[in-house]
Amino acid sequence: MTDETKIKRQKLVDKISNDNFSSSDVGQLLVYLRGDFPDSQRLTELANFITHSEGRTRGLSHDYINDFITKLIATFENSGSITIPKQLFERNSVYEELIHVLKTMDIVNEVAKFRQQKDKFIEFLLELIDEVEIKLKETKVKHCSLIKDGSIMYVCFIIESKSFLFNGVKQRVRLFD
């Protein structure tokens, strides 16, 4: 990491710690840190949502949604039941992962002050996540997208099969809880 990059990261962390930040600061920080999340797939995924809004073909969210829809199709075709999976990102643990990364990189000076900004940080992060198409390999899924209604994210999909047609199903995805 260059000194210039470290200084930019430090300034963003300081702005957040001092409650003087915007959604663009949150986005910039995650983009600057994106390559430094090797042990956190969840942080990488959130940074990728900011940088890649053109459609998801892989990653945690893609796998989560693909697994759910595959099980849903099997349930409808073969009878049975399905359990809705737990949220993908738990607010406290994701924020603590971010703090851990920042501490490891010696970027966060005032951890307690940074920690106090969790709710505002997450709110701004959700503002940055755009609606995005989820491209699944399952041929019965005619369309799938992640859409946002305020701070709630939904998966909307159309499934077409010989035995049934779901059109416009909306399932809440608990990105943060």
How wide is the angle at C-alpha 66 spanned by C-alphas 64 and 68, nearest 5°? Answer: 70
pLDDT tens readout for residues 3-48 = 888 899 999 999 999 999 999 999 999 999 988 887 788 899 889 8
Mean pLDDT score, 54-60: 85
The 8-class DSSP code of residue 21 comes to: -
First to last CA, the chain: 33
CA-nearest of 45, 33, 42, 38 to 5 is 33
* Whether this model's pTM surpasses 0.85: no
pLDDT tens readout for residues 163-172 = 655 555 555 5
Mean pLDDT score, 56-80: 85
Cα separation, 25 vs 20, whole angstroms = 9
Domain boundaries, the chain: 3-136
